[in-house]
Amino acid sequence: MGASRRRGLVAIARRYGLLIIEDAAYAFLDAAAPAPLYALAPETTVYVSGLSKSVATGLRVGFVAAPRAWMPGIERAIRATTWNTPGVMTAMACAWLDDGTVTRLEAAKRRDAATRQTIVGDVFAGLRCVRHPASYFAWLPLPEEVRADRVAGALWSGGISVSTAEPFATTAHVPHALRLALGSVGLDTLRAALEKVRRAINDQAC
């Protein structure tokens, strides 16, 4: 979301007294991201992020920035659900934030994500693909004659799992599209899997 759309969203929230919950777990993937919504509207925004996406899955340390009046309620909710993180994990997270380890690992993940998106561009050339150049996901709207459930079923029988648009749809009409997750496998495996996705789409279009 660009800066102008962020300002527009803040204006709507202020006009109607809405709460903004800003999930910034993947914000690190954009090296030149605009200011977060919390910076624009700290009085009505809860900013949530952590280090499990940007550093390591096992580093389950998260953090919240919110209006001061809401902090007691947020603290009670945290205590009632997770209590806190182990002390050694918190100490490790703080040390890595201070010594630049987090910055270095985030930069490495941006490079890795960009490489994976390059593969996406190669494999799906000629098809519409909605994606950020440094994201671990891609949204693939399908040609009009292709049914997403059929593509997903064919891929599942071949050992590849993709998401259709149904879990993400907010309208009665669900578009025929696929959500592709690009992480957690080697680059060669990723390319081979995406090529199978492309073949499945081509087969359904015949």
Q: For 65-88, what is each residue's pLDDT tens digit?
A: 999 999 999 999 988 988 778 889
10 Å CB burial of residue 129 (0-12, 13-18, 19+) is middle
In this predicted model, which residue has the larger pLDDT, 86 or 141?
141
What's the Cα-to-Cα distance from 76 to each of 38, 60, 183, rounded to whole Å? 21, 19, 34
Asked if residue 162 lies in contact with residue 153, where contact means CB atoms within 8 angstroms, the answer is no
| pLDDT, position 2 | 87
In this predicted model, which residue has the larger pLDDT, 34 or 83?
34
| pLDDT, position 86 | 86
Residue type, 77: A
DSSP 105-139: HHHHHHHHHHHHHHHHHHHTTTS--B--TT-SEEE
| pLDDT, position 119 | 97
Phi and psi, residue 91, nearest 5°: -60, -40
Q: For 142-190, what is each residue's pLDDT tens digit?
A: 998 899 999 999 999 999 999 999 998 888 889 999 999 999 899 999 9
Both tokens of 42, joined, read 């700290």
Asked if residue 109 lies in contact with residue 57, where contact means CB atoms within 8 angstroms, the answer is no
The label of the residue with tokens 């777990």 reads 25
> Mean pLDDT across the stretch 84-109?
93
| pLDDT, position 204 | 85
| pLDDT, position 177 | 95
Mapped onto helix, strand or coil, the DSSP state of residue 163 is strand
pTM: 0.85
Distance CA 75, CA 52 (A): 20
| pLDDT, position 83 | 79
What's the Cα-to-Cα distance from 60 to each of 17, 85, 170, 194, rounded to whole Å? 32, 7, 30, 30
| pLDDT, position 205 | 79
Both tokens of 152, joined, read 């997903």
Domains in the chain: ranges and CATH: 3-99 (3.40.640.10), 107-205 (3.90.1150.10)
